[in-house]
Structure 1
Amino acid sequence: TYDSGGLSLKSHANLEFMKDDMAGAAAAVGVMRALMLLKYPVNVLAVIPLVENIPSGMAYHVDDILTMYNGKTVEVKNTDAEGRLILADALTYAQEKGATRLIDLATLTGACVTALGTVRTGMIGNDQEWMNRFFSAATEVHEKIWQLPADEEYEKLLESDVADLKNVGGPEAGAITAGLFLKQFVHDGTPWIHLDIAGPAFNEKADETGLIGATGVGIKSILHLLQGGVASHDR
């Protein structure tokens, strides 16, 4: 849904295309719709957290401390870093419902657009084999992915003096720290991939095919991963 930035209000230029901030949720719906129509024999759960990030009398504040669904506490240093908050709860909920392998998609950070432009989706995760399989599937359907580093030193940027962690890691490595924030909500031993689709999710100008607007990035890659070369015990 629309992301104004909340009390950490975006600039006018950044507000213009924020209707595309629901692209991750739309991709999840697209995957489930395709699975239904194609009748893939896989067991898939989609969790779609929907919020509206608009200033109001009920808006959350900078320096609030939130208790997340799994009990961890988060110090809010920027209300515009809201997507990771709802995704973290969604990951917790998915695992509670029995998910054993995780992929999340979100137009999560402008930092990923700065790093990779509109050409590639940024990927971060906790299981190299799972990421390699996804990267291969994406390559085969011509969706471009780039793996971001996940060194422990980056996680330290999320440390808080008053809570378990902060919702932003500061001005550096924003796409990486956003992904590693989500990692804090994934159980040890559960393969997980985070896809930051902020760059390629929306064409502001027509591409070589004439497409303007939402691209559905990520849907083909996930479907191909589910369709091909997946052992039944891994589904």
Structure 2
Amino acid sequence: MTVAVLQFGGSNCDRDSVRALSHLGIDAERVWYEDGLPADTTGVMLPGGFSYGDYLRAGAMAAQAPVLDDVREAAADGVPVLGVCNGAQIGCEAGLTPGAFTTNQSARFQCERVHVRVENADTPWTRAYDEGDILELPIAHGEGRFEAGDDTYDRLVDEDRIFLRYCDGDGAVTDAANPNGSRGNVAGVLGDHETVAVMMPHPERATLPDLDGTDGAGLLRGFDAVAATQ
């Protein structure tokens, strides 16, 4: 399979993502958004960064690029799509997943390692883990607070589409363990199809052994997990 890691003006985690995926044996290449998705694309990753300087809203301008029409079409056909950090913001803005990411409750840029708890292990992105597993992953964002209306949030809960929540080192989901004020400590959500996911922490920064921790590797293996079922 070949994962297209989309680049926009201001993307800065595209090289990290390609390196992490390649380390796992997953073919990946950086793709400039104006070039569209290559014909052999079997996965899409929307990487972190600050597309277009986060003007208007984080991810809002990139979400209007024509390539997102291709991404939505691919997602509808079952192609795995993962949005990380700014890619999660783009994914929400483009309607790939419900809700929105907005300014951190602290109104500060948060750059630290956090714990997240696997809430749903029956997804391509979490099959390497068990429900309740605790992962340590880095975050680096100023607009990472997940928000959704009551009906939307209740639907996400009812449909088991919240697959990661911020927690403490013992797995307790508490306000103190919530780095940005996300509703319900949400760190990652699924789209209408479980093959589409967005998350605020950076799995690609917790995949290479020389970067102090590999808890994120299983999340990126979701691309392989989807390919194995097709």
Q: Compute the TM-score of the two structures, normalised by the length of structure 2.
A: 0.38
Q: Which has the higher contact order (CA 8 A, sep 6+)?
A: 1
TM-score of the aligned structures, taking structure 1 as reference length: 0.38
